[in-house]
Amino acid sequence: MPRNPLLRAPAAVSPVPPERYARFGWLRNPFPDVPYVIVGAEDPRSNGSIYADSVHQAEQQRFEELLVPTPDRPASRMAFLMDAAVGRGRGIGKTAFLNRQRSRIMSDLGWFVTRQTYLLFAAHILPPAGTNNRKFWQFARLLITSFNKQEVIAQLLWRLRAFSGLIPDAVLDEAEEVSSTVGDNDWLAEHHVPVEHELIPAIKERLTTAGVEPILAEGLATYGHSPEQFWTGFLRHITDYRWRQMAGTWLTNDLVSAFRLGGFYRGLVFVDDFEKIVNGQNTVERRTFADDIRYSFVEGPTRGAQTGFYSLLWVIHPYLQEILGHHWNAAGLDRCCAVTGDRSATCRIDFNPISAANAEGLVAEYIAHARQPNFQAADRLSPLTPAAVTEAFRITRQLPGHLLIWLNRVVEKAIDEQWPDFAPARLTQFAQAQPPALPDETPEVQPLAAPEADLREGGA
Amino acid sequence: LTERLWPMPRQRAIGSFSDLTLYVDALECARDSDGITAVLLRSALAPRLRSSRRVKDQALSTLRSVLAELEAFGWLSRRDAVPEPRFSLTTDGKTALQTADERSFLRLLATQLHAAYTIPGWFVARLWTINPQTGEVIVPAPAHGWSATGSARAEAKWGPELQDETTAARRRAQQANPGAFPVSDDAWLDAVGQAWLHVLTRKRRKLTPGEDAFPWSRSGLALAMRMAALHLLFAATPYGQAAPDIEVGRPLSVKTFKPWCPRLQSLELVAYTDWHPSVVGRLLFPTAVFRNEDGAPFEELPTIRHPDGRPLFLHQPSWQSLRERFWSTLATVYQGIARVTGLRYVSLFDVRDEVCRRLRISPTLFDRYLGRALEEPQPESGWQLSLETDVREDVRSGGQLERRPISVAGIRYTIIALARRPTAPGRTT
């Protein structure tokens, strides 16, 4: 036992003993303990990797129609995703859906969805709350840093390296996991590829010839192959002053040239929680922002607008339609993608609440991921039953996010109290003690309670 | 039938101040110096707090009206008129200053104000006329955050958007308490429409460049609603009746309503709030009543009498009689607000307003009893009470600064939490 407290290391045991869930044949509580999708989280229950495609099949189809180009169908430059449920935006599964679409496209760069025609990338933008994204340059910076974090830029560099002609085919054949091979300078050096002296200058040269500004071209060529290095070696050193000048043109000119050089046909950008950007803006900023979107992506003299490179999917809150519509239309964006009025239906994905049958599928998917191998389960839901899922679904008012986290608490309770089964009546009883944290639906005006003192004659 | 009417007030002009301690300070100043003027009084006064706002200097016109009112009570007498009216303390004034405690001084002041203006007694009676069940009255206002859109402004007339909000304000008031705003939809819409035209064509003190946005703002429409409500509910003739009950054409205007509400609240006759969570607008309720029967929780104020002879009784239950109910009401109200806001520490102002409304006690009494509740060991119900003085964000600026502060033993508290005292863990044998 080392005496020095600096040498104490935390135990590497999982915090919950797996035997706790053995009764049901599970390795862990199958359901997430947080009510939202955390992109990139370690826990598979909450990072969106467990996903039942059947649940939002209709939305997925609509998404492909609108935004994914195929040989016989062009795609729009912009679309909206809006929840069709009334006033229950949270926990309906939008983020999980977008995260799924992103990983689906990024797994093969859109090769499958475009029917082996085009290369696409997808980025899922999650703006932080607050007022740091009010200006277009800040929005552009957010996009660029997200491209980096989500390995979009790294994918581009890996492709440029592979097609540079400086890595012998024999070496390329050895590279299976790209990020740790072509994307790793040490690995390449081990395989006798002259990274510093030939590969990087050659890529920089190609980027500059394609029209990328030299400083950015150098940054991309030197560090772009690794998100960490591009951040620490390049992006981190760019001052706000420089971003203000360059972010917009980098996004819509230089990067577009670079992406096209890498063979990308389109970039899909999903702007989640768009209200976080708009709510922080004042009227003038909203108008300017809409104008900037039009200039940068639709019809300005930018490479992005000329080639229609970016396809944007704005995830909007119902209320946003009202506050944004005015400025959107004033900037003329309604002709491209209407946010209000009848025409908005043509460029909108309506996000519907899931059905009871889909809820079963979703619950089954989570249970399947937690099953002990070799455990013989009676059916895909066991030990839960369809009646129990229906009851839980009713209690959580058809909101999948809330359904899952509430089931997490139900499972813990069932184990603590040794429930023999998950009968719907037990769930109802549990819901009274620990109701799900649903969005409030308080009436507009609550009547005043009668006063307790009556001052009138004969009153109490 | 004239003897059944409230008499014509001796005095009409009322100073636009609501801080009653100004009277005391003026009297003391007159006692200590050989005759005072408004200018002298101003230099003698220390900076003071009006609700939560610091007021460094009182306006001269305010101080002039303080002196004029004191003269009307017979507590000051005028000595010279030139160059500036100079007053000295009268014998009655000396007696008033020697009043034993704050409470008796307030009663004396209520008597004097009623004798001079008739409003105090009449106002209490009028609340009971409007709502005979509980005396609660709501003066509606537009929803928080409402303002007319650009197209309504462009129309520049009493258009559908303003009308809709007016109707909605009446509906909200009636949902909160059906008896508290017994005005028909048509009458209300007409009255607000007319008042709004007054707002639109009002004389503007300062001509600011650009369009006049005020009539389309929330405060503009709120002003129109207040004018209309005063016209309908607080005119000489009560709403829905044929004959007037006071010998004066217009007992209250928007200008005089403003200082009267806090004054009557300080006199413990009426309480009001503009920030009740269930009410948009001003909620008024009486903490006094005219009655024949003498009763335990009441304090008689025989100097204020209804024209029919009944004296005014102030609802002043003793701490002993109220203690248990005070605790339980405090707990119920706190729990209600905590549940809606989802917070442990909630606004003490909101709790105070609702506790006062339920128990029909004045905010002054609430302050006193909250102090008692803090000192005394909690009753068997096992609640523990915690008060804090953090200045809430919403009372740092804007209208909430005008809310009457709650001070217990000289400390101004702003937030409150109640919790069940943890019971001792049961011992296993």
pLDDT recorded at residue B144: 86
A128 and A280 in contact (C-beta within 8 Å)?
no
Could you tell me if B172 lies within 8 Å of chain A, comparing CB atoms? yes
Q: B177 vs A447: CB contact, 8 Å cut-off?
A: yes
Q: Which amino acid does the sequence have at B323?
A: R
B140 and B229 in contact (C-beta within 8 Å)?
yes
Q: Which amino acid does the sequence have at B178?
A: P
Interface residue of B276, B278, B310 to substitute, partner A, most A CBs within 10 Å: B278
Q: What's the mean pLDDT in B411-420? A: 85
Instruction: Answer yes or no: is pLDDT of B299 > 60.
Output: yes
Cα distance from A440 to chain B (closest Cα, Å)?
Answer: 9
Q: B175 vs A444: CB contact, 8 Å cut-off?
A: yes
pLDDT recorded at residue A12: 66
Q: A444 vs B176: CB contact, 8 Å cut-off?
A: no
Q: B136 vs A448: CB contact, 8 Å cut-off?
A: yes
Cα distance from B27 to chain A (closest Cα, Å)?
Answer: 35
Reference A325, options A369, A382, A287; nearest CA is A287
pLDDT recorded at residue A452: 86
ipTM of the complex model: 0.77
Contact residues, chain B, for A447 at CB < 8 Å: 175-177, 278
Q: A455 vs B289: CB contact, 8 Å cut-off?
A: yes
Could you tell me if B226 lies within 8 Å of chain A, comparing CB atoms? no
pLDDT recorded at residue B379: 60
Cα distance from A456 to chain B (closest Cα, Å)?
Answer: 7
Instruction: Give the highest mean pLDDT range of A5-19, B309-323, B410-424.
Output: B309-323
Interface residue of B175, B273, B287, B361 to substitute, partner A, most A CBs within 10 Å: B175
Q: Which amino acid does the sequence have at B381?
A: S
Tokens 């016109």, residue located: B61
Structure tokens at B324: 């248990």
Picking from B176, B357, B360, the nearest residue to A455 by CB comes out as B360
pLDDT recorded at residue B111: 94
pLDDT recorded at residue A401: 82
Cα distance from B177 to chain A (closest Cα, Å)?
Answer: 6
Cα distance from A447 to chain B (closest Cα, Å)?
Answer: 4
- Cα separation of B296 and B302, whole Å? 16
Interface residues of chain A, partner chain B, Cβ below 8 Å: 442, 444-458
* DSSP reduced 3-state for B302: strand
List all residues of chain B from 99 to 158 with a beta carbon under 8 Å from chain A.
134-136
- Cα separation of A416 and A207, whole Å? 61
Interface residue of A327, A448, A452, A457 to substitute, partner B, most B CBs within 10 Å: A448
Contact residues, chain B, for A448 at CB < 8 Å: 136, 176-177, 180, 276, 278-279, 283, 357
- Cα separation of A90 and B280, whole Å? 28
* DSSP reduced 3-state for B261: helix
- Cα separation of A261 and A278, whole Å? 33
At B407, give phi and psi (nearest 5°): -120, 135
How long, in residues, is chain A?
A: 460
**Helix A200-210 vs helix A214-223: angle between axes, to the nearest 10 degrees?**
140
Sign of CA dihedral A401, A402, A408, A414: negative
Q: B358 vs A453: CB contact, 8 Å cut-off?
A: yes
Residue of B nearest to A454 (CA): B134
Contact residues, chain B, for A442 at CB < 8 Å: 340
Q: B175 vs A450: CB contact, 8 Å cut-off?
A: no
Instruction: Answer yes or no: is pLDDT of B394 > 80.
Output: no
Contact residues, chain B, for A453 at CB < 8 Å: 297, 315, 317, 358-361
Picking from A444, A451, A456, the nearest residue to B357 by CB comes out as A451
- Cα separation of A77 and A309, whole Å? 8
Picking from A442, A447, A457, the nearest residue to B176 by CB comes out as A447
Contact residues, chain B, for A456 at CB < 8 Å: 289, 291
Cα distance from A435 to chain B (closest Cα, Å)?
Answer: 14
Pairing of strands B383-388, B415-420: antiparallel
User: How does the average pLDDT of chain B come out, rounded?
Assistant: 87
Structure tokens at B136: 């609660």
Picking from B172, B292, B359, the nearest residue to A453 by CB comes out as B359
Q: Is A157 exposed, middle or buried (0-12, 13-18, 19+ CB in 10 A)?
A: buried
B247 and B229 in contact (C-beta within 8 Å)?
no
Q: B315 vs A453: CB contact, 8 Å cut-off?
A: yes
- For chain B, what percent of residues have pLDDT higher than 70? 93
Instruction: Answer yes or no: is pLDDT of B2 > 50.
Output: no
pLDDT, tens digit, 9 for 90 and up, residues B340-370: 777 788 889 999 999 999 999 999 999 999 9
Interface residue of B149, B172, B291 to substitute, partner A, most A CBs within 10 Å: B291
At B80, give phi and psi (nearest 5°): -120, 155
Q: What's the mean pLDDT in B329-336? A: 91
B37 and B85 in contact (C-beta within 8 Å)?
yes
Cβ neighbours of A12 (radius 10 Å):
5
DSSP B136-193: -EEEE-PPTT----HHHHHHTSS-HHHHHHHHHHHHHHHHH-GGG----HHHHHHHHH
Q: Among A149-163, B47-61, B129-143, which stretch is predicted with the lowest mean pLDDT?
A: B47-61
Reference B289, options A126, A455, A107; nearest CA is A455
Structure tokens at B150: 């650009």
Instruction: Answer yes or no: is pLDDT of B422 > 70.
Output: no
Instruction: Answer yes or no: is pLDDT of B429 > 60.
Output: no
Contact residues, chain B, for A458 at CB < 8 Å: 293
Q: B297 vs A446: CB contact, 8 Å cut-off?
A: no
Picking from B136, B287, B359, the nearest residue to A452 by CB comes out as B359
pLDDT, tens digit, 9 for 90 and up, residues A34-61: 777 777 778 888 887 788 877 888 888 8
Could you tell me if B278 lies within 8 Å of chain A, comparing CB atoms? yes
Q: A445 vs B175: CB contact, 8 Å cut-off?
A: yes
pLDDT < 70 regions, chain A: 1-2, 11-16, 18, 84-91, 318-319, 438-445, 459-460
* DSSP reduced 3-state for A79: strand
Q: B293 vs A458: CB contact, 8 Å cut-off?
A: yes
- Cα separation of B429 and B426, whole Å? 9
Q: B288 vs A456: CB contact, 8 Å cut-off?
A: no
At A73, give phi and psi (nearest 5°): -155, 120
Q: Is B339 exposed, middle or buried (0-12, 13-18, 19+ CB in 10 A)?
A: exposed
Tokens 């003085």, residue located: B389
Instruction: Give the number of beta-carbon pairs within 8 Å between A and B.
Output: 60
Exposure b/e, A65-102, CB count within 10 A at least 16 = b: ebbbbeeeeebbbbbbbbbebeebbebbbbbbbbbbbb
Half-sphere exposure (Cβ direction) of B227: Cα atoms closer than 13 Å? 18
Residue A347 CA: distances (Å) to CA of A182, A333, A455, B138, B167:
39, 12, 63, 47, 38
Q: B176 vs A446: CB contact, 8 Å cut-off?
A: yes
Q: B286 vs A455: CB contact, 8 Å cut-off?
A: yes
Q: How confident is the model at residue B426 (pLDDT cuts 50, 70, 90)?
A: very low
Q: B329 vs A452: CB contact, 8 Å cut-off?
A: yes
